[in-house]
Structure 1
């Protein structure tokens, strides 16, 4: 593989030859405000665009950092990181505001510097720092297999602070469409989750797979920016990271601002916003079983011989989850065709009548995958003792019996375990694995399997039960 060339990034404090100072281009309407945009994590092109936008609005946006700067604008940086950068420039924070880019975009929108609120100020590094010893005497290094699908990983995580930091960094990378970096951080987190005890010394990590230089620095520092706003917005049912990022750039940072913004929401997003607190509340195993009873009766009504399995985190042994996933099939190949529309129709027309306090509020997300693989996402309400109902997200998946083992493996998760299983299949076995089939690229044929155990055997791996796939 040919390595990618690293793009040269100009230092934020370096003045390009063809760049003019803001004062030389537009009249300064606000002489008491002198802005500087920190390029780190913002990127050179975005920084240049925002700088030009500010100057057109009459703001003084400096290309070079100087002691005259009153407002330092950052994107995805913590207050600690910004202060460290200032110290490296031989300056301090005294007399300067360290602000998130949201303050800048809101000021551009209103045409004047807006009031600095708490949400505009850079966040501190999250607490929970782990102090790792640097003395490597009498320390035994850890050892784990290179692929997550070779490791047994239960729900017990001895390094939660470290894995949380890496997961946050992965979220930031994925939001920025840097999927490669996101996967790298998630693989590093999966390695730490699989360790039999807490990391107390950096030398214990020597030789472990998937721990690159950046991940090791994160582990050593153990604390990164918390993407609270992003997590709130993407927590709305039907809202992805790209939509949330667009809203953030438009100055929307909480649910009330979204309600007041006049944004056009589809039906799923409207339901997600209305019932946000319910859907964000963890679903218990008992609640999942109650929903299985409801969906099971619906399945039996439209196709008595059809089978239904609870998948996802609950099948891996979790006691709570953020949603409830069901896999549905029929023992006779082809009889599952048309099952999903009948099931959805039955639920929509009869559940509220036959089962008290149960309603459906969302429509089909996507109905057809590879012609015979169907999925339906909905929000249903289940009875609670303290109130009449609450909203819960449910995913329904219909698979032909010939694909059932692959669908069961794929929908059980975890996400990273499945990704690593597919990476192993491609890199080590020359095969392509999906939630539908296993294809031998060398022989040019599909490989049949009627159970998860058979799939592991085809891949030359020891079978790992669902409760040990929590990578």
Structure 2
């Protein structure tokens, strides 16, 4: 039998399971030239990948068969961001510095819309930047910094930008109530845990719609996640609902709404059986402080919100009074209004003067008080003298009050001076043309202005995390007076908030992005 002829053929090239085979597709017009897609076959399968590629091309998208440095969007299914990153790191390909890693749900939404849809957090597998000269797989065994610098959501509010555009009110409102309830019960650990959970959700640029969206988000403990899951499934939290109906919570909420009433007094009144403010005011055996008496006297005004227009009108009064005695003084509205809020419960001002002597600084607030008293605008004041010591180290307590001279006031604001609210319902209902407004004035030495401004701008959680970050990450101590480097054993000077952030190695965050 004749031997069969030997056929010499070239080695058969294996089809890449990762990159996918190059297949000839009919030509389609590309409508969206700024997008170059690559669909990852891993965990998806070749048939589904081919179907999605064909569909996307029909819709006018540019879809590449293989990964290249022109890719702008990688679409994956059933992969975590970490898994895609690991896969990318073994590919010997230079990629775009603006590469997006997306879940297949984004592509599906694009197909339905017939055009690219806005990418939100629910679509992103991970947010990151890539060094422009990075090449994946060029040195797999290297122990150097990986080419991907992943921007994870930080546990610190001072590393997150939090505007007033809260996409997750339904969750954060519930978590805030839980935090407040634990604060009323003086359970600091649980209070802080829920505050941190609410804070991180307020920073998210997307709305949580499933528990999958919470993956990788820090500060969400098991209890917070249970609340979120219950709200997703039932539309409300049974625990929050129970708290809102709890007599103790309701009483503490009511009592602490009075100016001058804190947790100790609220606890005392609750134990004495009080449940309404009328009962407290009618009880002649109770001894109220001056502040509490003022709080009850002007309660209706003080419990109502202060509008931005009212805060601006108060600012004019403060500037007029301060500049009458220190013409070069700097008067800055701080607190929530500096963070861009339109409503608040009081108005805070930081006052400092570059040319004032220590004696002039000490005498300014008493002069301002007398100025308003003569004009009939002062309804209440409590002047707290400075206990500031220049050589003293910053406080180790994250919630420590500063030691600057300050004054807690209630001012009479005539409504005709308020733009847009001259015919206020408050004035009509009470038959008066003025409103009682809570005002805080803080006088600080000029060289401490940056620290005081940062501290008095808030928010509360932002400040807590800023000090916590300084302590745990930078071995520094920060408060409203100074920044101390414990390693170098020196005070770090700063003339602006930007310099304080720079000392701490933080990106500067504008006031309107500190609403943590």
Q: TM-score, normalised by structure 1?
A: 0.67
Q: Distance in 2 between matches of 1:346 and 1:461?
A: 38
Q: Distance in 2 between matches of 1:194 and 1:459?
A: 21
Matched, 1:449 2:494: yes
8 Å contact from structure 1 (residues 236, 272) kept in 2: yes
Q: Distance in 2 between matches of 1:264 and 1:312?
A: 32
Matched, 1:380 2:415: no
> Residue 148 of structure 1: CA displacement?
0.8
Q: Distance in 1 between matches of 2:185 and 2:327?
A: 47
> Residue 305 of structure 1: CA displacement?
1.9
Q: Distance in 1 between matches of 2:441 and 2:408?
A: 6
> Residue 419 of structure 1: CA displacement?
0.7
**1:421 alignment counterpart:** 466
> Residue 196 of structure 1: CA displacement?
1.1
1:278-427 equivalences in 2 (<5 Å): 278-332=301-355, 335-347=357-369, 349-354=370-375, 358-364=377-383, 366-371=384-389, 373-384=404-415, 385=422, 386=427, 387-427=432-472
Q: Which moved more, 1:179-188 or 1:337-346?
A: 337-346
Q: What runs of 5+ residues in structure 1 fail to find an aligned partner? A: 1-135
8 Å contact from structure 1 (residues 323, 392) kept in 2: yes
Of 247, 252, 273, 1:251 maps to 273
Matched, 1:192 2:201: yes
**1:145 alignment counterpart:** 154
SS state of the match for residue 243, structure 1?
A: helix
> Residue 338 of structure 1: CA displacement?
4.8
SS state of the match for residue 258, structure 1?
A: helix
8 Å contact from structure 1 (residues 154, 469) kept in 2: yes
**1:463 alignment counterpart:** 508
8 Å contact from structure 1 (residues 313, 413) kept in 2: yes
**2:26 alignment counterpart:** none
Q: Distance in 1 between matches of 2:438 and 2:469?
A: 32
Q: Distance in 1 between matches of 2:167 and 2:269?
A: 36
**1:26 alignment counterpart:** none
1:177-188 equivalences in 2 (<5 Å): 177-188=186-197
Q: Distance in 1 between matches of 2:252 and 2:476?
A: 36
Q: Distance in 2 between matches of 1:395 and 1:346?
A: 12
Find the structure with the greater CA-based Rg: 2
Q: Distance in 2 between matches of 1:454 and 1:448?
A: 8
Q: Distance in 2 between matches of 1:276 and 1:391?
A: 9
Q: What runs of 5+ residues in structure 2 fail to find an aligned partner? A: 1-102, 106-121, 127-151, 232-236, 390-402, 416-421
8 Å contact from structure 1 (residues 358, 389) kept in 2: no
**2:38 alignment counterpart:** none
> Residue 289 of structure 1: CA displacement?
1.4
> Residue 444 of structure 1: CA displacement?
1.0
> Residue 253 of structure 1: CA displacement?
1.6
> Residue 218 of structure 1: CA displacement?
1.9
8 Å contact from structure 1 (residues 303, 339) kept in 2: no
For residues 113-138 of structure 1, the C-alpha deviation after alignment (integer angstroms, 9 at most, x for no partner) is xxxxxxxxxxxxxxxxxxxxxxx995
SS state of the match for residue 360, structure 1?
A: strand
1:263-278 equivalences in 2 (<5 Å): 263-278=286-301
For residues 77-105 of structure 1, the C-alpha deviation after alignment (integer angstroms, 9 at most, x for no partner) is xxxxxxxxxxxxxxxxxxxxxxxxxxxxx
Q: Distance in 2 between matches of 1:185 and 1:212?
A: 8
SS state of the match for residue 409, structure 2?
A: strand
> Residue 258 of structure 1: CA displacement?
1.1
Q: TM-score, normalised by structure 2?
A: 0.61
Give the RMSD, CA atoms, in angstroms. Answer: 2.0
Size of the aligned set, in residue pairs, is 331
Q: Distance in 2 between matches of 1:338 and 1:182?
A: 42
Q: Distance in 1 between matches of 2:182 and 2:328?
A: 45
For residues 242-290 of structure 1, the C-alpha deviation after alignment (integer angstroms, 9 at most, x for no partner) is 2112211211122101112332111111010111110011111111111
Q: Distance in 2 between matches of 1:446 and 1:319?
A: 36
8 Å contact from structure 2 (residues 485, 492) kept in 1: yes
For residues 179-233 of structure 1, the C-alpha deviation after alignment (integer angstroms, 9 at most, x for no partner) is 1221111010011101112111011111211011111112223431123322221
SS state of the match for residue 260, structure 2?
A: coil
8 Å contact from structure 1 (residues 157, 193) kept in 2: yes
Q: Distance in 2 between matches of 1:409 and 1:375?
A: 16
Q: Distance in 1 between matches of 2:182 and 2:388?
A: 30
> Residue 352 of structure 1: CA displacement?
4.7
SS state of the match for residue 396, structure 1?
A: strand
Q: Distance in 2 between matches of 1:137 and 1:465?
A: 35
8 Å contact from structure 1 (residues 302, 339) kept in 2: no
Q: Distance in 1 between matches of 2:349 and 2:362?
A: 12
Q: Distance in 2 between matches of 1:346 and 1:457?
A: 36
SS state of the match for residue 379, structure 2?
A: coil
**1:208 alignment counterpart:** 217
> Residue 176 of structure 1: CA displacement?
2.1
